[in-house]
Amino acid sequence: MDLSHVTFEQLVHEMLKRLGEDPDRDGLRKTPERVARAMKWMTRGYKMDPMELLQKAVFAEKHESMVLVRDIELYSMCEHHMLPFFGKAHIAYIPNGRIVGLSKVARLVEIYARRLQVQERLTDQIADAMQCSLEPAGVGVVIEAVHLCMMMRGVEKQNSRTITSAVRGVFRDDQKTRDEFLRLVVGGTGLR
């Protein structure tokens, strides 16, 4: 079936009909256009290059201690059901002569989260991009999220959270570094 000539809006219109709705009634008349715009917004990460983003904000700096950006809000969509999942990312690295602008760490999360995703891959993609672009002594990423595909359908578990982690370099090889990272992620620094 060749759908190359069919617009996104037409597909949504057809979907509404197949759900038993009247896509021409008042409340749904503009829904196909709104859904198309929303999907483009929620998946805009496909049009962004994470490596280009990071390379624009790398600076030489002799800082050798952990840099942690905590509680980065993220919103993504499960690729299995196209339902949202959302939560927070915590990203740390130990520089090796180069640091990155802090806002770029949050933007990196946005680029990968704004694609159809699974949380496990999202966690690895962020860690790999940081490791590849900065070549730090190590990287640690923890993501904690709730998934509407588990809350609204299927098992309907309202209080479940999924936590994933990815560690590279000294975060993997040195227990003290990993422990410090996890302690800061879980316990915070008392600045709140």
Residues annotated catalytic, as ranges: 78-81, 119, 147, 149
DSSP annotation of 192 reads: -
Class of residue 5 by CB neighbours under 10 A (exposed 0-12, middle 13-18, buried 19+): exposed
Class of residue 65 by CB neighbours under 10 A (exposed 0-12, middle 13-18, buried 19+): exposed
In this structure, which amino acid lies at residue 187? G
DSSP annotation of 27 reads: G
| Cα–Cα distance, 117 to 80 (Å, whole number) | 8
Q: Do the Cβ atoms of 7 and 33 come closer than 8 Å?
A: no
Q: Write the CA distances from 35 to 12, 22, 39, 107, 146, integer angstroms.
A: 7, 16, 6, 24, 23
Q: In this structure, what are the phi and psi dihedrals at residue 115, rounded to the nearest 5 degrees?
A: -145, 165
Q: In this structure, what are the phi and psi dihedrals at residue 7, rounded to the nearest 5 degrees?
A: -80, 160
